[in-house]
Amino acid sequence: MIRESSGKERKTGAPMNVPRNVLWFEVLLYLSLTLDAVSVAFQDRTPTAAMTEQMINVATVMAAGLIILLVYFVWLAAQHRKNWPRWALAAALVLSVISLIQVIGESGVQLDSAIEVISCALTAAGLYFSFTGDAVGWFNT
């Protein structure tokens, strides 16, 4: 944006130079969320006595909605320089790790939990990049 003599700002159309660490943050979190989406897409949706077809459908829609919300948070943080979505993503990571520890404790490491471990690692790495290096001054409070 350019500040005109009237004090108003106008867009120049020039692209922003996104810091390298912010770019890594964005790429790693999008990879993590893509992995999560693929994992949800290939989940077993066989109804059982404990899980009806309707419950499975609601859980799938909720998972898809959460993934879309998290994609929006990454976009807000990386492209619009918002700080609060980074903290929301960090909180989501903490909750995911707690859930993952419980799942692994109950049933051991299986394919879906191994995919979740990779997803959590990608998210952790991306968040690390968002708080370090040239990303430090990027985010507005």
Q: What are 48-106's pLDDT values in tens digits? A: 999 999 999 999 999 999 999 999 999 999 999 999 999 999 999 999 999 999 999 99
Give the chain's length. 141
Higher pLDDT: 12 or 44? It is: 44
Share of the chain above pLDDT 70, in %: 88
Structure tokens at 62: 């909720």
User: Is the pLDDT assigned to residue 7 strictly greater than 60?
Assistant: no
Amino acid at 18: V
Please report the pLDDT score of residue 11 as a whole number.
58
Per-residue model confidence (pLDDT) at position 3: 47
pLDDT at 99: 96
Q: What is the pLDDT of residue 140?
A: 82
Q: To the nearest whole percent, how much of the chain has pLDDT over 90?
A: 82
Q: Print burial letters for 126-136: b (CB count within 10 Å at least 16), e (below 16).
A: bbebbeeeebe
Instruction: Show Cβ contacts of residue 106 under 8 Å, excluding neighbours closer than 6 positions.
Output: none
Look over the chain and give the mean of its residue pLDDT values, rounded to a whole number: 90
| 123-136 average pLDDT score | 97
